[in-house]
Structures are given as structure tokens and as C-alpha cells.
């Protein structure tokens, strides 16, 4: 386009230079030729081409701007949100299926007082009852440790998946086409970190639950021993 404009301008200048200044019009075969009018027409054509070139440049810039806006609004093709929810759901299921004294606040006090009495009063239960209670407490403590190991194993099993998800998100962030993809990748990385913190909290909760039940069992066994001693001494009297 610029070459065309330059060629037209050169032709117009050359033509105006070759025209005799005094002559305003010449006749060729009965046709009137006005060189001044011809030059003006050429100049107008050059200006029209310049305007067209400017309009083309403006449209090109607008198209480039729209393309950039489209890239900025392009979202990530994949999301790990569903994977995070599935992993947390598996851990939540393990916590919900806890046997014996679980994690429900409204049930803990009732079940705890029943399984781990503070004392047996002046007249303790029969020996067979005490033994059965002790066995139930041992089973509950053993089950709590097993469940703690299950939660830990579930957290460890998701570590590889979390690592792969993190690598993918970092790659998506580095090769993002626009600002929206960068933002989405960052949000998903934060969600992944939140999931890992929640997994650690669940693992710690199950571990401390097992430790608490074992300590409570030891205290209950000590009280059971004292109750048997009192019962034996009372029977001796």
C-alpha cells in the first residue's frame, strides 16, 4: 500500500513538472485536457488511498486488541476441583465410619462416660462384667489405632496424585494464554494446598483420638483394679 502511494505521488509530481505553466488547457482531437484539474484529481486519489491505509491500520489494531481480550478471557481446559473433592470425601467417609466413640460432639460425652466410668461406686459390678467392659475398651482402643492408620494411609496415597496435580497446574500457569488462565491456575494451586492442610488435620484428629482412647483405657483399667481391690477387701471383711 505504501509503495502504491509513493508511486502515485511520483507520477503526480512528474506530470505537474512537465506541464507548461502558462497553458491551462490543450486540445487533443477535440477533447479538452486540463492539466491542473488532472493534478488535483491525482492528489485527491492519493489522499483517499492514505485514508484507506489509515483505516486498514486501525482495523488491524482493533482485531489485535480483540484477539488479546479473547486470550485473556480463555479459561483452563481442565480442573482438579473434582479430584480434590473425591479425595476429601474418601477421608471423610473413613472418619464417619469410626467405630465406638467417634467424632460427633453430642455423642462423645454420653458414650465416653459409659465406656470409661470415673469410678464404680461403693459396690462395683461383678468380676465378669468388669472383664467384659475391659475387653470392650481394649477393642475400641485397638480399632481407633487401626482407623488412624487407615486415614494416614489414605493421606499418603493421595500425595502422589497431589504432586502430579501440582506439576500440571504449574505447567498450566507458565503456559497460560491469558490473565484468566493464570488466575484460575493460582486458585487451583491454593485449593490444592487447602486440601493438603485439611488432610493433615484429619490425620492428626484420628491420631489424637486413638491416643486419647488409649489413655482413657489405661485410666479405666487402673480404676477397675482399685474397684476389684475394694471388692476383695470388702468380701474378706
Q: Kindly report the CATH number assigned to the domain that includes residue 189.
A: 1.10.287
In a shared domain, residues 122 and 199: yes
Residue environment code for 180-219, b if the CB has 16+ CB neighbours within 10 A, otherwise e: ebbebbeebbebbeebbebbeebbeebbebbeebbebbee
Last residue of some domain: 13, 37, 72? 72
Query: From first to last of its 237 residues, what are the pLDDT tens digits of the chain?
Result: 555 445 544 554 454 444 444 444 444 455 555 677 777 877 888 888 888 888 888 887 777 776 666 666 565 666 777 788 888 888 888 888 888 788 877 788 788 888 888 777 767 777 788 888 888 889 889 989 999 999 988 888 887 788 777 777 777 766 666 677 777 777 887 888 888 888 888 889 899 989 988 998 888 888 888 777 776 666 544
Residue 36 domain boundaries? 2-72
In a shared domain, residues 12 and 39: yes
Cβ neighbours of 121 (radius 10 Å): 10
Residue 107 and residue 115 in contact, taking contact as beta carbons nearer than 8 Å:
no
Please give the tally of structural domains in the chain. 2
In a shared domain, residues 67 and 86: no
Residue 94 and residue 147 in contact, taking contact as beta carbons nearer than 8 Å:
yes
Last residue of some domain: 55, 72, 89? 72
In a shared domain, residues 85 and 121: yes
In a shared domain, residues 58 and 25: yes
In a shared domain, residues 47 and 125: no
In a shared domain, residues 67 and 160: no
pLDDT at 22: 46
- Assessment of whether the complete model's pTM goes beyond 0.85: no
In a shared domain, residues 48 and 117: no
Last residue of some domain: 35, 50, 72? 72
Amino acid at each position: 500500500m505504501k509503495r502504491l502511494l509513493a508511486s502515485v505521488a511520483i507520477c503526480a509530481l512528474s506530470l505537474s513538472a512537465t506541464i507548461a505553466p502558462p497553458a491551462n488547457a490543450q486540445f487533443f482531437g477535440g477533447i479538452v485536457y486540463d492539466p491542473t484539474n488532472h493534478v488535483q484529481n491525482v492528489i485527491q486519489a492519493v489522499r483517499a488511498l492514505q485514508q484507506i491505509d489509515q483505516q486498514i491500520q486501525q482495523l488491524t489494531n482493533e482485531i489485535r486488541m480483540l484477539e488479546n481480550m479473547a486470550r485473556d478471557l480463555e479459561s483452563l481446559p481442565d480442573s482438579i476441583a473434582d479430584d480434590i473433592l473425591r479425595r476429601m470425601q474418601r477421608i471423610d467417609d473413613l472418619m464417619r465410619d469410626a467405630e465406638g466413640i467417634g467424632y460427633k460432639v453430642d455423642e462423645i460425652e454420653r458414650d465416653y462416660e459409659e465406656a470409661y466410668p470415673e469410678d464404680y461406686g461403693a459396690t462395683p459390678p461383678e468380676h465378669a462384667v468388669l472383664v467384659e467392659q475391659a475387653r470392650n475398651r481394649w477393642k475400641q482402643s485397638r480399632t481407633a489405632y487401626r482407623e488412624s492408620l487407615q486415614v494416614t494411609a489414605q493421606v499418603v496415597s493421595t500425595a502422589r496424585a497431589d504432586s502430579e496435580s501440582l506439576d500440571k497446574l504449574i505447567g498450566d500457569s507458565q503456559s497460560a494464554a491469558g490473565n484468566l488462565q493464570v488466575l484460575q491456575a493460582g486458585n487451583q494451586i491454593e485449593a490444592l494446598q487447602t486440601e493438603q492442610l485439611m488432610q493433615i488435620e484429619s490425620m492428626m484428629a484420628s491420631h489424637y483420638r486413638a491416643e486419647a482412647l488409649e489413655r482413657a483405657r489405661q485410666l479405666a483399667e487402673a480404676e477397675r483394679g482399685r474397684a476389684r481391690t475394694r471388692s476383695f477387701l470388702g468380701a474378706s471383711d
